[in-house]
Chains A and B, each alone.
Chain A
Amino acid sequence: MWIRGPYGTSPLRKGIHDMGTDIHADGGLSRRHHSETTLQVNGKPHTLTLDHRRVLLDVLREDLDLCGAKKGCDHGQCGACTVLVDGRRVNSCLLLAVSLDGCEVTTVEGLTADGEELHPLQRAFLDRDAFQCGYCTPGQICSALGAISEAAEGHPSHVTDPSVPSGRPVPLSRDEIRERLSGNLCRCGAYPRIAEAVEDVVR
């Protein structure tokens, strides 16, 4: 069994199959190197036959029409594609989707069901005017959610006081927020407002 990193607790997982050798009757060559993969996205299961080259970001945007996660660089450099996989924030442009069979994925669309109240973080972004063009915003919000969880679980950051015993929840000071969100670039320069919005939620 080949396994990937920290994602691995879902009972939905099953072994890889269709190892690129069979040719479907309809698609000929174009169906090679595809595998059936099930992803739980925003609470709904999706079983898809996926090109092995397809990254999670493109599954969300092209297969599921969830365009909240953005493609800013496609190289894990900007964070615009940040979503949560099994509760942890990831750059979805760097994850091959077939490696995520059985995983639970949460995107910005999953934070607000249609017509329902905004997530407090989304509300705080509006209140603080924590964006301009909006292209990095879904990634910032998902990243902030992940960062809040990580701090609560006691994961230290570069600016965490090293004398604090590990594993204890880390209070999210302004410096902690800025450090922990530094993987999410914003060219409009909304950083101070974003940090304020996150503070509003964790206070």
Chain B
Amino acid sequence: MSGIRTVVGAPAERREGREKVTGAARYAAEQPGTDRAFAWPVPATVARGRVTGVDATAALALPGVLAVLTHDNAPRLAEPDDPTLAVLQNPEVPHRGWFVALVVAETPEDARAGAAAVRVTYATEPHDVTLTAAHPEAYVPEEANAGYPARTERGDPDRAFDSAAVRVDTAYRVPPLHNHPMEPHATTARWDGDRLTVHNSGQGATVVRDTLSALFEVPAERVTVVSEHVGGGFGSKGTPRPDVVLATMAARLTGRTVTLALPRRHLPAVVGHRAPTLHRLRLAAEPDGRLTSVTHEVTTHTSRVKEFVEQAATPARVMYAAPHLRTLHRVVALDVPSPSWMRAPGEAPGMYALESAMDELAGELGMDPVELRIVNEPDTEPDSGKPFSSRHLVECLREGAYRFGWAGRDPLPRSGREGPLLVGSGVAAATYPVQASPSTADARALPDGLFLVRVNATDIGTGARTVLAQIAADALGAPLDRIRIEVGSSDLPSAPLAGGSSGTASWGWSVHEACTRLAERLAGHSGPLPGEGMVARADTTGRADAVSPWARHAFGAHFAEVTVDTVTGEIRVRRLLGVYAAGRILNPRTARSQFVGGMTMGLGMALTEGSTMDAAFGDFTECDLASYHVPAHADVGAVEAHWVDENDPHLNPMGSKGIGEIGIVGTAAAIGNAVHHATGVRFRELPLTPDRVLPALLAR
């Protein structure tokens, strides 16, 4: 059997690819039915206050309008764990854009017209939506997102900084960012008596089912949530969002199948965003480049609905050897929409700041920035002292430098010029933690020679079906085309959501166990299989979530070449190159797409993406795709992803690390550093749009 275990690592084609290129793949809002009704939400138009009245008379008089849900008549919910799901439960308005009513109608047009006709009156209160580093209400939380301690300190960073030979004391700002998956958050809900069926665009159907079961007080076995195809999420669909709750309420109230696809402009206020982060970095080093002190302090905002703290200072706990190290998060609760996960929460903005500061330090030292990072390679994880299960950052930097053609680069800023264009190159490192959660799966050998593998994984575009089938084929010693795989329904064996770059590790672990067990059983079986086949199940609880004695992280290096137009201030990225050390790459075809996709989002973070919290009105001014600029085709030139082989026995049975997020992590810093190399100007606030760049070039 071992002779054919070559499926993992092969560039298998996406299993659902044909459905996606032919338009046959069905997403959450695409569930036809004759009794289907459509919902349209009414967002609050004040930044803080309470609803004093909802006049639905005009809306209900419109043709096709079936119902108007408000806090007065909406079904009562059990108290949710996530307070952003307590929609239409009380008249409070915690931020602009919070949903205060929902119109249900026969057609999307009727619902939209109905929503426009709902009259809402408010008692407003003064609001504060402006984050500043010196905000008087800033506090140090107990922990940051993902359970990280908010503060760590080793040695005496201040004294070490004050006495250092070479120092950098600098500040950066990353603005609010929006996930904006191409598919807006959508739910189609239907009640059959006390049975609930929901099609949802979320990143994990098990968590949606469990949430609905708790909120509507229905046993979980009477709730089915299907997320067969999901049009991207990037964290914003990690857990249920208000669309799930509202559609389910509307279906219960009207007795109809109800589809609610959130309008694009509503998303920034209700599905989470990457909170703005204000960074202060203090780095101190010996003249040979060895860091003596690192301090990374972050101030961010959260809403008054719940506390979410972007863990942006955590990468400094992992990256570089420094005897004196302080990381600190502070947060201010403002009258803003609730922030949430966006691709590499913490690492993406944190590594922008840390890796920009490292570039500044390289400049102070007169040292090559690649070499500066190599000199500061730690023996163990700086924060915990744990040994790394594997760490090949240096190899990534060297391999990337070679492929990029870094050698011979003139380090002098503003040394590259082509007519009106300044040309520069930059580097930055990347890191992302290895995570996994318990999952269940089953595998069945069928009499016809096929194998059916079932796990409630969610394929949000990662190619989960494909890579899980590869894992199954290897464990079973069977050809890939004999594996059938079912994912995307809560009726399948329970599994965690697609997030934290942990999907393949979590689901794959249980698939591997179930298939290995089945293979053993089959080996001991003689004669034909019974009609229902032979099944094996797995539950990785206790193993996938076991505390590891190892520090487990993926690493990477990003290189960028940019041009800066001295006439217009426009920055273009000519080349982006990433090299990753992320365990075993299970499918190079889909892995490359994830790496390149992450780098592309990082390019957007560097150059085009930025949102503004309007101080007067309390909303995000860049709330749609015309004003919030995600990269377009013309923005994205040559983007290359490579990886170094890593054989790490301390991860999971596949030896894989997550790859969905690390691509974004160092990209913005690499681009920013390249812009500094090109221009001699250090920009410390993203995005690097011409309105910022040109004045700085002219003032120089």
Contact = CB atoms under 8 A, between A and B. Distances in A.
A156 interface: no
A76 to B, nearest CB: 8
A185 interface: yes
Given A77-B625, A80-B182, A137 B600 contact: no
Nearest to A138: B23
A78 B632 CA distance: 9
Contacts of B698: none
Given A132-B232, A133-B183, A188-B597, A126 B108 contact: no
A58 B637 CA distance: 34
Contacts of B611: none
B630 A185 contact: yes
A185 to B, nearest CB: 6
B32 A188 contact: no
Interface string B435-467: 000000000000000000000000011110000
Nearest to A139: B182
Contacts of A125: 17, 21
Interface string B682-698: 00000000000000000
Nearest to A60: B23
Contacts of B463: 132
Interface in A65-86: 65-75, 77-78, 80
Contacts of A184: 633
A32 B64 CA distance: 11
B633 A30 contact: no
Interface stretch (B2-10, B69-77, B586-594): B586-594
B624 A133 contact: no
B631 A78 contact: no
B526 interface: no
B182 A126 contact: no
Interface in B376-408: none
A112 B18 CA distance: 11
Contacts of B594: 132
Interface stretch (A9-17, A160-168, A175-183): A175-183
Contacts of A187: 180-182, 232, 234, 601, 630
Given A112-B22, A126-B21, A188-B232, A70 B634 contact: no
Contact of B638 (A70, A77, A179, A192): A192
A135 B29 CA distance: 12
Contact of B461 (A132, A178, A185): A132
Contacts of A178: 633-634, 636-637
Contacts of A122: 21-22
Given A67-B26, A126-B17, A137-B21, A72 B624 contact: no
A29 interface: yes
A71 B259 CA distance: 13
A72 B461 contact: no
A108 to B, nearest CB: 4
Contacts of B230: 133
Given A78-B182, A179-B634, A71 B599 contact: no
Contact of A192 (B13, B21, B590, B636): B636
Contacts of A112: 22
A132 B462 contact: yes
A107 to B, nearest CB: 7
Q: How many residues of A sit at the interface, in one of the four size bands? A: 35 or more
A37 B166 CA distance: 75
B184 interface: yes
Most interface-central of A67, A141, A189 (chain B CB within 10 A): A189
B600 A189 contact: yes
A74 B638 contact: no
Contacts of B601: 187, 189
Interface string A87-112: 00000000000000000000111011
Contacts of B30: 61, 67
A108 B230 CA distance: 19
A7 interface: no
A132 B182 CA distance: 11
Contacts of B592: 129
B181 A71 contact: no
B634 to A, nearest CB: 4
A58 B625 CA distance: 20
Interface in A40-67: 51, 53-54, 58, 61-62, 65-67
B145 interface: no
Contacts of B22: 68, 108-109, 111-112, 118, 122
Contacts of B160: none
A136 interface: yes
A151 interface: no
Interface string A127-147: 001011111111001000000
B184 A185 contact: no
B341 to A, nearest CB: 15
Contact of A133 (B24, B182, B589): B182
B597 A132 contact: yes
B555 interface: no
Contact of A126 (B14, B32, B183, B626): B14
B623 to A, nearest CB: 11
A182 B632 contact: yes
B626 A134 contact: no
Given A129-B593, A132-B462, A189 B14 contact: no
12 contacts: A51-B107, A51-B109, A54-B109, A73-B184, A78-B182, A109-B24, A126-B21, A131-B17, A132-B463, A133-B231, A185-B625, A194-B633
Q: Which 6 A-B pairs have the closest CB atoms?
A: A68-B23, A189-B600, A135-B231, A133-B461, A134-B20, A132-B461
Given A68-B24, A190-B593, 11 more contacts: A61-B30, A71-B184, A75-B626, A133-B460, A134-B20, A134-B21, A177-B633, A188-B593, A188-B597, A189-B598, A192-B636
